[in-house]
């Protein structure tokens, strides 16, 4: 098999090979419900071509609640797109009935309810006999029985959380009726939640707003430009990108204003959802993976969603989970919290003492939480000459839960919401907040001195024993590493215990960075030269210990000058850690986009581009099994003392397994590097890395992010602009202006050719056919259509 067609052995990509679209036969051969033909129990309506089904279902099998809804009928993953009785669950589908009433409306009855009134009805104005029909668009319509084209009511006018192709999301100017998307209250509860999407209610613009409780907008799409919305750059792309499968349109007429989208290929399954997380998500079904793949989501920063984590919790960007209860608080609904539904927030572990009993001896105290983005809804701002005065002002009010003093005194009352932890992102607006807690939440220093002395003495003894044990473990490891059995099992890798890792990293005290796959900490090995290392604590890895060791051992044998070197690992219980060589010059993104590292010269950038290409070429072509990285971006390119490029995290797709694609597509910014194959459903090959590498080259040459927000709030999607310039032969305008013209334009042109790798041979033939075979555009196209990364590497 040709090299370019070879598939990698990474677990997540194998998923794209083995799961065909299920073509199950419908259980009921009708798409219509008529008077005298009620639907109950396990009966279903199935649309004419079998695409959608309507019937009774349970969103959460641990709940007794039943609903009637519409879902995709031909895919193995149950995906609900509409629910009739969102606010009125049923107790038993066997005794419940969906009927066409004598008045001509669709009505749903709960047979066990004492009240015989329907729990849901279409409430349409009807005359004569009617029928309910489930269409292949997923739209349930109530139509005249003698003239099916006369629609009296349709579910597309009453959205749930899902917007399907062909539906109109907008406003009827004559009736004032507005169609909205309401997120589910929880993953197992389809009742309308707090997050909603609608057209600007003021009617003065063509933008859509995401709101919390209908009163707190936190994201806007920007106005319609005729080609896309200004704050959704993914809609303004070239024909080579996945959105060429779709058509978009905004209509502003005399009677109504609305946005509509559709698919050119009916076989493509796409849905637009307001998720429980408060983000709008555009998803496409990938049959070979049997999964919904995320194309884009807004807002991209999860923590920009208003009140995402509920009361008394902080949001941490680029982390899983993104919500964490504050010190002294625990999850209000632990089961929902584990499922990713954090709306209920957290509750106190210990009630506030001063407000419970004003005579209480132990007064409330404050926990200092630094590096936070303060909530914007301070309920009180008082005059205070000092931080102590501000503290006393909060203590004097029983409803005050936190305060911040920054020249002025801000107080927060009741549930503290919309708090962001910026310690791992160096976010703007960082401040310090004081969280009010009961005194018992703090370790006492004024009582039980003897007990404290005893604890200290015990701690000293434990520390001494631990040090001796650790030394023994390290000596034993050193001896065992010389034996043939260990060499055979681990190769050249060192196997650490978790206690070793705590010692090496000084209990994970110095954090180098973090992301959706885990956090990285600086450490030092206890060898003669105190070798510096970077220790990554993995999240989301669920393999058994034996499988994890086997996978790590395989990755540990891969060595190349442009690949980060794996030195060891830890696999103990549920803990999974990787130990890498430490790179003093950190990651490429900090040098390209940061202001404190100076400007990288063109010579350095060119060598970095070549180094990354060589590393990828080795992974794709030189390994025994092709390894596809799947997440090429500046954050994963590390630089050594001489600024030589080292591709990092090249084994994570293999280690994270099935969850890799989910984490990858929800990480902030990563979606800007994803190849079209992730969306279109075609097999993922090494070419997916080639696409991401091309997007990386844009940033290396330009010194700027591919997606940036302008001062007016709109979004600049640089690749669209850059490609049009490159195709017109304007190479120089894409070069970072900070280089002051100090770039070799022949090298720039060669590198810029790499960003056109998606052009393909057909595009090159078109260039030749236009009589411009010797043009710069044709030469760049020929470069792109060759062995891609390998050609750049050489």
Mean pLDDT of 522-541: 83
Q: How many helices (H) and strands (E) does the chain have?
A: 19, 42
Half-sphere exposure of 441 (CA within 13 A, CB side): 21
- The pairing of beta strand 409-413 with beta strand 216-220: unpaired
The separation between CA 91 and the C-alpha centre of its own chain, rounded to angstroms, equals: 35
The verdict on whether omega for the bond into residue 321 sits within 30 degrees of 0, i.e. cis, is yes
* Mean pLDDT value across residues 508-531: 81
Q: Homologous superfamily of 20-157 in CATH? A: Bulb-type lectin domain (2.90.10.10)
Q: Is the pLDDT of residue 433 over 90?
A: yes
Instruction: Quote the CA–CA distance of 794 and 791 in Å, as a whole number.
Output: 5
Which of these ranges, 28-42, 64-78, 653-667, 712-726, has the smallest mean pLDDT? 653-667
Token reading at 214: 């209908």
Q: What is the pLDDT of residues 149-190, one digit of tens each?
A: 899 999 999 999 999 999 999 988 888 888 999 999 988 899
420-439 mean pLDDT:
77
The CA distance from 431 to 436, in Å, is: 16
Instruction: State the pLDDT at residue 550.
Output: 76
Residue 789: its pLDDT value, please? 54
Higher pLDDT, 531 or 767: 531
- Residue 209 and residue 337: Cα distance in Å, rounded? 26
Instruction: List CB contacts of 686: < 8 A, sequence separation 6 or more.
Output: 4, 6, 8, 616, 620, 626, 628, 789
Q: What is the pLDDT of residues 620-643, one digit of tens each?
A: 888 767 788 888 889 889 999 889
**705 band by pLDDT with thresholds 50, 70 and 90:** confident
Give yes or no for a contact between 228 and 206, defined as CB atoms under 8 angstroms apart: no
| E strand map for 287-399 | 291-298, 313-316, 323-325, 329-331, 346-348, 365-373, 380-382
Predicted confidence (pLDDT) per residue in 213-237, tens digit: 888 899 999 888 887 888 887 665 4
The CA–CA distances, whole Å, from 604 to 125, 140, 744 equal 72, 60, 12
Which residue has 């169609």 as its token pair?
A: 179
Residue 725: is its pLDDT beyond 90?
A: no
> Quick one: fold of 313-441?
Hepatocyte Growth Factor (3.50.4)
Under 8 Å between Cβ of 686 and 677: no
Rounded CA-CA distance 6/15 in Å is 15
- pLDDT score for 607: 93
Q: What is the mean pLDDT of residues 476-485?
A: 41
Sorted by sequence, the CB contacts under 8 Å of residue 702 that are 6+ apart come out as 718, 722, 734, 735, 736
How far is C-alpha 60 from the geometric centre of its chain's CA atoms? 23
Most confident of 457-466, 544-553, 593-602, 781-790: 593-602
Catalytic residue among 189, 631, 689, 736: 631
pLDDT at 294 over 50: yes
pLDDT tens for residues 85-140?
A: 999 999 899 999 999 998 899 999 998 776 678 999 999 988 789 999 999 999 99
- Provide the pLDDT for residue 216: 87
pLDDT at 241 over 50: no
| CB hemisphere CA count around 350 (13 angstroms) | 15
pLDDT of 356 reads 56
The mean per-residue pLDDT over the stretch 193-206 comes to 86
Residue-averaged pLDDT of the chain: 77
pLDDT of residue 573: 80
- The Cα-based distances of 606 to 133, 746, 750 in angstroms read 61, 11, 10
Residue 249: its pLDDT value, please?
86
Strand 291-298 versus strand 181-186 pairing type: unpaired
What is the domain partition of the chain in residue ranges? 20-157, 313-441, 594-793
What is the residue whose two structure tokens read 């429980």? 276
Alpha helices by DSSP H, 632-738: 652-656, 660-666, 677-680, 687-702, 718-727
Q: Write out the two tokens for 73.
A: 């009928």
Are 19 and 289 in contact, with CB atoms under 8 Å apart?
yes
Q: For strand 329-331 and strand 365-373, is the pairing parallel, antiparallel, or unpaired? A: unpaired
Distance CA 694, CA 687 (A): 10
Give me the mean pLDDT over the 728-732 stretch: 75
Cα 28 from Cα 160, distance rounded (Å): 25
CA 96 to chain centroid, in Å, comes to: 39
User: CA 679: distance to chain centroid?
Assistant: 15
C-alpha–C-alpha distance, residues 548 and 444, integer Å: 43
Mean pLDDT for the stretch of residues 248-263:
89
pLDDT of residue 361: 47
DSSP, collapsed to helix, strand or coil, labels residue 12 as helix
Structure tokens at 233: 């750059």
The H-assigned helical ranges of 339-448 are 353-356, 387-395
**Local confidence band at 54 (pLDDT 50, 70, 90 cut-offs):** very high
pLDDT exceeds cutoff 80 at 411 = yes
User: What are 307-351's pLDDT values in tens digits?
Assistant: 989 999 998 876 666 788 999 999 998 878 877 788 889 999 988
Q: Residue 39: what pLDDT?
A: 93
Residue-wise pLDDT for 361-388, tens only, equals 457 899 999 888 888 778 777 777 888 9
- Examine the residue annotation and report whether 631 is marked as an active-site residue of this protein: yes
Burial label for 187, CB within 10 Å (0-12, 13-18, 19+), is middle
Q: Which of 202, 163, 191, 166 is nearest to 179 (CA)?
A: 163
Residues in Cβ contact with 331 at an 8 Å cutoff, skipping those fewer than 6 apart: 325, 337, 344, 346, 347
| SS3 state at 355 | helix
Residue indicated by tokens 């919401």: 417
Most confident option among 21-35, 375-389, 708-722: 375-389
Query: What residues contact residue 579 under an 8 Å CB cut-off, 6+ apart?
Result: 494, 496, 501, 504, 523, 533, 534, 535, 536, 566, 567, 568, 569, 570
Q: Does position 21 have pLDDT exceeding 60, yes or no?
A: no
Question: How far is the C-alpha of 322 from the C-alpha of 302, rounded, in Å?
Answer: 8
590-606 mean pLDDT: 85
Residue 265 has, within 13 A of its CA and on its CB side, a CA count of 12
CA neighbor of 178 nearest in space, from 170, 189, 188 = 170
What pLDDT is stored for residue 107 in this prediction?
95
Per the model's pLDDT, the better-predicted residue between 67 and 546 turns out to be: 67
User: Could you tell me the fold of the domain covering 594-793?
Assistant: Transferase(Phosphotransferase); domain 1 (1.10.510)
User: What percent of the chain is predicted at pLDDT more than 90?
Assistant: 29
Once rounded to an integer, what is the mean pLDDT over residues 193-220? 88
Domains 313-441 and 594-793 share a fold: no
Question: What pLDDT sits at residue 793?
Answer: 54
Task: Lowest mean pLDDT of 115-129, 698-712, 749-763, name the range.
Answer: 749-763
Confidence grade of residue 779 (pLDDT, cut at 50, 70, 90): very low
Percent of the chain whose pLDDT exceeds 70 = 73
First to last CA, the chain: 23
What is the distance between the alpha carbons of residues 461 and 184, in angstroms, rounded to a whole number?
54
Q: Is the pTM of this model over 0.85?
A: no
Torsion of CA 476, 477, 481, 483, to 10 degrees: 30
Q: Any residues with CB less than 8 A from the CB of 448 and at least 6 apart, and which?
A: none
Residue-level pLDDT at 443: 62
């Amino acid at each position: 098999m040709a090299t370019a067609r070879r598939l990698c052995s990474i677990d997540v990509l194998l998923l794209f090979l083995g799961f065909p679209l299920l073509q199950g036969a419908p259980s009921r051969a009708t798409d219509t419900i008529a008077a005298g033909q009620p639907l109950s129990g396990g009966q279903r309506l199935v649309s004419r071509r079998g695409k959608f089904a309507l019937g009774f279902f349970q969103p959460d099998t641990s709940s007794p609640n039943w609903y009637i809804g519409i879902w995709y009928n031909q895919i193995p993953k149950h995906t609900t797109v509409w629910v009739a009785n969102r606010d009125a669950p049923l107790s038993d589908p066997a005794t419940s009935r969906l009927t066409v009433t004598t008045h001509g409306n669709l009505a749903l009855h709960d047979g066990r309810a004492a009240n015989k009134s329907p729990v849901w009805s279409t409430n349409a104005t009807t005359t004569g006999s009617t029928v309910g029909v489930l269409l292949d668009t997923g739209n349930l319509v109530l139509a005249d029985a003698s003239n099916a084209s006369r629609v009296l009511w349709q579910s597309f006018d009453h959205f749930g959380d899902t917007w399907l192709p062909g539906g109109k999301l907008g406003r009827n100017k004559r009736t004032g009726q507005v169609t909205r998307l309401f997120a589910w209250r929880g993953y197992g509860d389809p009742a309308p939640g707090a997050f909603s999407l609608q057209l600007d209610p003021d009617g003065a613009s063509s933008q859509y707003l995401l709101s919390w409780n209908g009163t707190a907008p936190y994201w806007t799409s920007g106005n319609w430009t005729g080609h896309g919305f200004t704050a959704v750059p993914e809609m303004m792309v070239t024909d080579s990108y996945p959105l060429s499968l779709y058509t978009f349109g905004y209509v502003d007429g005399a009677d109504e204003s609305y946005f509509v989208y559709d698919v050119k290929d009916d076989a493509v399954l796409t849905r637009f959802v307001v998720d429980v997380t408060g983000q709008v998500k555009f998803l496409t079904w990938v049959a070979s993976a049997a999964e919904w793949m995320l194309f884009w989501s807004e807002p991209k920063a999860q923590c920009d969603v208003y009140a995402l984590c509920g009361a008394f919790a902080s949001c941490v960007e680029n982390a899983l989970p993104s919500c964490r209860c504050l010190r002294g608080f625990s999850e209000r609904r632990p089961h929902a919290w584990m499922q990713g539904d954090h709306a209920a927030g957290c509750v106190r572990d210990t009630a506030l003492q001063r407000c419970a009993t004003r005579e209480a001896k132990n007064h409330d105290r404050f926990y200092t939480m630094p590096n936070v983005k303060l909530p914007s809804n301070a309920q009180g701002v008082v005059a205070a000459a000092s931080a102590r005065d501000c503290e006393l002002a909060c203590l004097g009010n029983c409803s005050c839960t936190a305060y911040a003093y920054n020249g002025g005194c801000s107080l927060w009352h009741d549930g503290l919401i919309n708090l962001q932890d910026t310690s791992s992102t160096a976010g703007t607006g960082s401040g310090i907040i004081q969280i009010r807690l009961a005194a018992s939440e703090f370790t006492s220093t004024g009582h039980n001195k003897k007990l404290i002395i005893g604890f200290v003495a015990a701690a000293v003894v434990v520390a001494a024993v631990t040090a001796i044990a650790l030394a023994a473990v390290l000596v034993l490891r050193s001896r065992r590493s010389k034996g043939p059995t260990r060499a055979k099992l681990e190769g050249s890798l060192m196997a650490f215990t978790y206690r070793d890792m705590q010692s090496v990293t000084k209990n994970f005290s110095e954090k180098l960075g973090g992301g959706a796959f885990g956090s990285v900490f600086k450490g030092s090995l206890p060898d003669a030269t105190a070798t510096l290392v970077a220790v990554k604590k993995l999240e989301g890895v669920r393999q058994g210990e034996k499988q994890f060791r086997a996978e790590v051992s395989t990755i540990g044998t891969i060595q190349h000058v442009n690949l980060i070197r794996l030195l060891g690992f830890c696999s103990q219980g549920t803990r999974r850690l990787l130990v890498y060589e430490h790179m003093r010059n950190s990651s490429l993104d900090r040098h390209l986009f940061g202001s404190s590292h100076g400007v990288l010269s063109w010579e350095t950038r060119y060598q970095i581009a070549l180094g990354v290409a060589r590393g990828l070429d080795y992974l794709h072509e030189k390994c025994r099994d092709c390894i596809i990285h799947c997440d090429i971006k500046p954050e994963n390119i590390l630089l050594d003392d001489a600024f030589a490029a080292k591709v990092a995290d090249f084994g994570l797709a293999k280690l994270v397994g099935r969850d890799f694609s989910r984490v990858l597509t929800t990480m902030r910014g990563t979606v800007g590097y994803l190849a079209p194959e992730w969306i279109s459903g075609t097999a993922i090959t090494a070419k997916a890395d080639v696409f991401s590498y091309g997007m990386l080259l844009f940033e290396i040459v330009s010194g700027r992010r591919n997606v940036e927000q302008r001062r007016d709030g709109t979004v600049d999607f640089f690749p669209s602009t850059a490609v049009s310039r490159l195709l017109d032969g304007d190479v120089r305008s894409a070069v970072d202006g900070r280089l002051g013209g100090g770039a070799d334009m022949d090298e720039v042109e060669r590198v810029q050719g790499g960003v056109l790798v998606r052009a393909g041979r057909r595009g090159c033939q078109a260039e030749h056919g236009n009589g411009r075979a010797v043009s710069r555009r044709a030469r760049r196209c020929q470069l792109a259509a060759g062995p891609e990364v390998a050609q750049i590497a050489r």
